[in-house]
Amino acid sequence: MTQNFRLVELKEEDNAMASLNVTTTLLSLRPLEFPSGSANRRCFIGNFPNRKWTLPLSVASNSSEPLISSPPDKPEIELEFLGPKPGSDGSFPVDTAKAISGEKLLRNIMLDNKIELYAPYGKLMNCGGGGSCGTCIVEIIDGKDLLNERTNTELRYLKKKPESWRLACQTIVGNKENSGKVVVQRLPQWKK
């Protein structure tokens, strides 16, 4: 049995030229033989020969650009969560969070950022994000176009509720291409 390993070394020379050495090493494993008195004992040992092949490869690099490019930034959605009741000054308390577009449900973003989602009974009686209880209701004040369309589950649970109400466990934030700001009212059923 032979296994190939590849070792890549990157060296920078004079900030204008970089050299890349690719080394391939062969590793062979063979069974270890025991005297005839030791039945059914097999063990593999490695044989590391001094055979290495090195391929020098030169790569030109502009000193102002990195040698290895990083992937492009993914679009982000900024979220503002308004508290359910106004403070003594009449303004709603605001929590903020950011999320990569299209990667998370609104419920998970709120829980990850420790933003209150459920009413007191909902903390004990929620379905854990399965879309079968209706306790994670939020109202989208602004940025509705940055979210997915209402699901069949939402249509069932929010039949007689305003169009701006959503279930956080069914709401995907972004579509992997868009970015912007979404304003969410927590516990809209408490708002007076």
- Calculate the CA 40 to chain-centre distance: 49
* pLDDT of the chain, 192 residues: tens digit per residue: 444 444 444 444 444 444 444 444 444 455 555 555 555 555 545 555 555 555 565 555 555 655 565 667 899 999 999 999 888 999 999 999 999 999 999 999 999 999 999 988 888 999 999 999 999 999 999 999 999 999 999 999 999 999 999 999 999 999 999 999 999 999 998 765
Residues forming beta bridges with residue 56, ordered by sequence position: 21
Residues forming beta bridges with residue 97, ordered by sequence position: 79
Does an H or E element contain 138, and which? strand 137-142
Domain ranges of the chain: 2-60, 76-190
Q: What would the two tokens of residue 87 be?
A: 């403070």
CATH architecture of the region 76-190: Roll (3.10)
Distance separating alpha carbons of residues 41 and 111, to the nearest angstrom: 55
Q: What is the pLDDT of residue 30?
A: 54
Q: What is the pLDDT of residue 37?
A: 56
CB 126 within 8 A of CB 118: yes
HSE, side-chain direction, 13 A CA sphere, residue 148 = 19
